[in-house]
Structure 1
Amino acid sequence: MAPPPIGEQSAAAVIARFLKARGVRRVYALCGGHVMPIWMRLDAEGIRIVDVRDERAAVYMAHAEAQLTGTLGVALVTAGPGVTNAMTGIANAHVAKAPVLVLSGLPPTPQENRGALQDIVHTELVRSLTRYARTVRHPDLVPQELAEAAARALGEGGEPGPVYLDFPIDTLRADVAVRMQLPEVFAPPAALPAPPHPQAVQAAVDLLWAAKRPLFISGRGARGAGPALCALLEKFGAAYLDTGESKGLVPDDHPSVVAAMRGAVMGQADLVITVGRRLDFQLAFGSPAVFGDAQFLRIADCAAELRDNRRGTVEVLADCGLALQAIVDAAPATVPASDGAWLAGLREQHRQRSAKLEQSMKDARSGNDGRLHPNRVLAALREALPPDAIVVADGGDFLSFARVGLPASTYLDPGSLGCIGVGTPFGIAASLACPGRTVVVATGDGAFGFNAMEIDTAVRQKAPVLIVVANNGSWAIEVRDQQETHGKVVGTQLQFADHAAMARAFHMHGERVEKAEDLDGAIARALAELRAGRPALLDVVVTPEAASSDAKSGLAWVPDLQALAAWDEAERRWRAGA
């Protein structure tokens, strides 16, 4: 006997109406019987289903949409392997604090714990990776659980991040009592961002006003606070470093930007101000071995980005935008103590290094094997991309080149989890969430392979994204480490596969580029495809001989105390009192 139709008061229908009321326009999903009631009601409500080829990619796409729009990203995955496949995406969103709602289903309640198809306790698997994980077994509880999960995901009263709900399929088919569908559950919350405490603001102003060499470092929590941050940099004559979490927040031509002098400024600053950014391995855990005797001012909207590894002399727990603006407003009209000559000198050296890098990228010579240098590829992209392009960088070795060589006003990458393979899914979601903007994915061939099948999704969804695969036929960082450390290469070489042929097999524009003189034309043709609303892929063969900064840093062999070899040596000396 066929199941009854999914009614308009069913739990599945309530889920769809809730998402629509909360402004969700797309749900990234892979179909399955245990979520089919939600699937069909989403369609009935006019919510677009972006159907993917792997659940991991669905969560990556929801993550990218959340990060780019500041709203709730939603992924729908089926039970059992659907959830286990999704867990890497959930883990990445967990580390990145991305507000993602993951929905799934379960076998009918009468079959629970009896060996039903795909019968597994999902919540025990995902609880450590989520802000909230619940199984909802009664239809009348669906509205309140959705509201609570959404609030937790968005960080209302706590740390933002992924949340998870699943529902037995008989619950999804059952009706929710009309009286339980309270209107306030469906209305977007009027939660106000947390303001800073006046005493904390004044303490921050006093600390900043006395600093001679202040350095701001921004992260996730600073997104959306660009104008206030720029005003603060100018007010206090401070230096500025971005990170992958907030790249593009402050324009490259701003007089505080000294990205090319990262190592020097981290060691010279007497006050380090973190704005919504953890002091993780990418910032040497805030160690005095790298930052010297600098004091710290920590500003964050959640505790995980406020007190980790290094406590601040002053700590401000508040919405980062409100905190930055409050500090600007409270600053006195007198001249701060900051050393203008120090910043000017750093800025000039930054400009010189940046210009030298840009020229060296254009002049980068091919390897002894005749294959292109990765920087030559990035130089051609720099010339062709519009200023407002969204750049997604992915991989290990090639990410190291792209992170430095490819500027962007909006930027996404694998983040501090090092979750390579996000590039193609992130790019697809970016092209759908930000129509009218050029989206380019710069990825290594190894990273591309994780979710290469999603080019099928790009074609079917008419997602105009340009995927540039730097094809060096290897896991290049590991190859170099094996060669130099162990004298032998084992299991780290790939084929110089024809990824363009794969793209064409999926009816996608694909070109293989092997010569420098063919780069510009290939990029121009690919961008023309994007303007026509179609995706494109360029498979650019590059030399594995080129050594990225990460390949030289010791990142592959994983030092004991710090992520980079130079920092590890400094840490050892500092701990020994040398």
Structure 2
Amino acid sequence: MTDEVPSGHLAVRALRAAGIEHLFTLSGGHLFPLYEGARDEGVALVDTRHEQTAGFAAEGLAKLTRRPQVAALTAGPGVTNAMSALASAQSNGSPLVVLGGRAPQATWGRGSLQELDHVAFTEPLCNRAATAQAPGAVAGEVGATLTAAATSPRGPAFLDIPMDVIFTPTSNESIAPWHPPARHPPDDATIAVAAEALAAADRPVVIAGTDVWFAGAEESLQALVETLRAPVAMNGQGRGCVPADHELAISRARGAALKGADLVCVVGAPLDFRLGFGDFGGTPVVHVADHPDEVARHVDLAAGVGGDLAAVLETLTEAAGGPTGERAEARAAWARELADAEGATRAEDRALLESDAVPIHPARVGGELARQLDRDAVLIGDGGDVVSFAGRHIDSHRPGRWLDPGPFGCLGTGTGYGLAARLAHPEAQSALLLGDGAAGFSLMDVDTLVRHDLALPIVVANNGAWALEKHPMRQVYDGWHAAADLRQDTAYDAIVAALGGAGETVTRPDRLAPALERAFAAQVPYLVNVQTDPEAAYPRRAALM
């Protein structure tokens, strides 16, 4: 080793010490020493066509691996183009790290190329936002940024490095391995209150969310519901933490469960609009979060517990124990009631999932896609109504294999998430389901998939509309709508073919299965452009305000 290397090289060495294997980027002169460091440290550069895709790819990989992942973006517009990824990561609790270029310190304030104080506007979104001020401080600042992203409550973290710092040589030192921060210890007193409430319930239901996956608590969750004999519904990346075909898992009967329960236990999910802000008609609520700061304050809780979810769930299981006597009978009857409701709703749904109607119903797209997916497939959804249909009709059997934009609802995540899925699980199926509106945000980055030799089946449900807005607007304004129409005859498959992939358009439901089979068998990104019924609207019930 030489005595000195550019500080940017040591930044990458610090990433490698944390197990980072991929650096998502779009080329910029402010970042050249990072690229040199990636070459020498064995970190793969994955260059995209838009910085938002680099940000979403890093966030998607963080979701899939449960560890911080990194996008390196050039100064000024490179960073501003990734603001939506930072905001989504904050909302999702994803440990996304963004390393930014920065105009030189020596000329700061004189109008250097892309001079902008990124810290001022990234700080509100990030667990930590800082500037590396000196070459010898760069590696340590990278380590601190990784730690901030991974510290509960998890979220994005940002570090920029001025151009005259990142290029300046500094001592060529080895970097100690980085270790994730310890999780927040749970409070035994609050667990005891929650356990007492659970033990006293005759009709409990458990709702599990994304943080169960991030905490590695899926086995602890399953042990809890099996001990309690409590039905469980899952959202976000909580999907699959208990397999969809487990006897206590429900998805279609969640509404019936929330109406009929005498206790709702929400684990690893915020009490946000997706759960009616925690208002279950007066039913007591136990909220279990991965940090005390994440326990809901806007709800009068029966109990609130914050801490390491695996430890909380294990202690809660032991303290609450299993039901006996009449309570055991009551819970068994409750589980049967919901299982019957689940089965009845699935039977009702079958008509849509197998519909031969033309235009094609969007539920039929999800139903046909589900028949193509292995149990361990990664499914990425990016869109409005079509992803809602898919979330309802496509089951998850393994944890960490469902990716959607999350509660922030930012479209454009899909191609980046698909890129991440192919890198994280090259041995497994991955598939990307897009609305035609969402396709407009990131389809150009199919070029990235092609250049990096990553095949991916892509399905576009093309109804020629922003359906998530069009149908509600019609209801509000007595049939009138505006700014909600697209062109249904847009050949999204031709766009992918022009970028080096392949694809086809499907207008009849009997053509769906063969087209999907070709997409999964293809050695390039393959887009199936499905013309769906523009009048089919997802029946929404979530309270948005």
TM over 0.5, shorter chain:
yes
Match of 1:96 among 78, 81, 92: 92
> In the alignment, does 2:288 pair up with 1:312?
no
> In the alignment, does 2:284 pair up with 1:295?
yes
Equivalences for residues 100-249 of structure 1 within 5 A: 100-155=96-151, 158-177=152-171, 181=173, 183=175, 186-189=176-179, 191-223=181-213, 224-249=216-241
* Separation (CA, whole Å) in 1 of partners of 2:158 and 2:71: 10
> In the alignment, does 2:485 pair up with 1:485?
no
Q: Which amino acid aligns with 2:530?
A: V
The Cα shift of 1:190 comes to 6.3
| Structure 2 equivalent of residue 85 of structure 1 | 81
Counterpart contact for 1:270–1:293, Cα < 8 Å: no
The Cα shift of 1:480 comes to 2.1
* Separation (CA, whole Å) in 2 of partners of 1:465 and 1:218: 29
* Separation (CA, whole Å) in 2 of partners of 1:315 and 1:172: 46
Match of 1:416 among 404, 407, 412: 407
* Partner deviation per Cα, 1:9-50 (whole Å, 9 max, x = no partner): 321111011111110010111111111211221122111111
Match of 2:537 among 547, 562, 573: 547
Q: Which amino acid aligns with 1:232?
A: L
Match of 2:378 among 376, 379, 390: 390
| Structure 2 equivalent of residue 407 of structure 1 | 395
**Residues 357 and 154 of structure 1: is their aligned pair in 2 closer, same or farther, counting only changes over 3 Å?**
same
The Cα shift of 1:305 comes to 2.9
Q: Which amino acid aligns with 1:315?
A: G
* Separation (CA, whole Å) in 1 of partners of 2:319 and 2:143: 37
The Cα shift of 1:259 comes to 1.7
Counterpart contact for 2:355–2:361, Cα < 8 Å: no
Counterpart contact for 2:292–2:307, Cα < 8 Å: no
> In the alignment, does 2:321 pair up with 1:322?
no
* Separation (CA, whole Å) in 2 of partners of 1:477 and 1:202: 43
| Structure 2 equivalent of residue 476 of structure 1 | 467
| Structure 1 equivalent of residue 17 of structure 2 | 21
Question: What SS does the aligned partner of 2:32 have?
Answer: helix
Q: Which amino acid aligns with 2:288?
A: I
Point out which structure has higher relative CO (alpha carbons under 8 A, 6+ apart): 2
* Separation (CA, whole Å) in 2 of partners of 1:190 and 1:78: 27
| Structure 2 equivalent of residue 573 of structure 1 | none
Match of 2:502 among 495, 503, 509: 509
The Cα shift of 1:540 comes to 1.0
The two structures, once aligned, show a CA RMSD in angstroms of 1.9
* Separation (CA, whole Å) in 2 of partners of 1:480 and 1:208: 41
**Residues 240 and 295 of structure 1: is their aligned pair in 2 closer, same or farther, counting only changes over 3 Å?**
same
Match of 1:45 among 31, 41, 48: 41
Q: Which amino acid aligns with 1:174?
A: T
> In the alignment, does 2:485 pair up with 1:528?
no
**Residues 7 and 395 of structure 1: is their aligned pair in 2 closer, same or farther, counting only changes over 3 Å?**
farther
Unaligned runs of 5+ in 2: none
The Cα shift of 1:304 comes to 4.3
* Partner deviation per Cα, 1:268-320 (whole Å, 9 max, x = no partner): 22211111111001111112xxx123222221112343134225322222211
* Separation (CA, whole Å) in 2 of partners of 1:403 and 1:333: 31
* Separation (CA, whole Å) in 1 of partners of 2:295 and 2:388: 27
| Structure 1 equivalent of residue 357 of structure 2 | 365
Range with greater deviation from structure 2 (357-366 or 111-120): 357-366
| Structure 1 equivalent of residue 457 of structure 2 | 466
* Partner deviation per Cα, 1:92-145 (whole Å, 9 max, x = no partner): 001111001100111222211111110011111111010100011211221221
The Cα shift of 1:514 comes to 1.5
| Structure 1 equivalent of residue 5 of structure 2 | 9
* Partner deviation per Cα, 1:352-394 (whole Å, 9 max, x = no partner): 211331343102522xxxx211122222112121121111112
Q: What is the percent sequence identity of the aligned residues?
A: 34
* Separation (CA, whole Å) in 1 of partners of 2:31 and 2:297: 39
Counterpart contact for 2:103–2:116, Cα < 8 Å: no
The Cα shift of 1:198 comes to 3.2
* Separation (CA, whole Å) in 2 of partners of 1:227 and 1:414: 25
Q: Which amino acid aligns with 2:292?
A: A
Unaligned runs of 5+ in 1: 1-5, 556-561, 569-578
TM-score between both structures, scaled by the size of structure 2: 0.94
* Separation (CA, whole Å) in 1 of partners of 2:460 and 2:232: 31
* Separation (CA, whole Å) in 2 of partners of 1:333 and 1:217: 18
* Separation (CA, whole Å) in 2 of partners of 1:478 and 1:464: 32
Question: What SS does the aligned partner of 1:18 have?
Answer: helix
| Structure 2 equivalent of residue 559 of structure 1 | none
* Separation (CA, whole Å) in 1 of partners of 2:493 and 2:190: 56
> In the alignment, does 2:367 pair up with 1:376?
no
Range with greater deviation from structure 2 (41-50 or 80-89): 41-50
* Separation (CA, whole Å) in 2 of partners of 1:101 and 1:115: 27
| Structure 2 equivalent of residue 571 of structure 1 | none
TM-score between both structures, scaled by the size of structure 1: 0.89
The Cα shift of 1:182 comes to 7.2
Counterpart contact for 1:7–1:175, Cα < 8 Å: no
Question: What SS does the aligned partner of 1:110 have?
Answer: coil
The Cα shift of 1:163 comes to 0.3
Counterpart contact for 1:358–1:405, Cα < 8 Å: no
Question: What SS does the aligned partner of 1:327 have?
Answer: helix
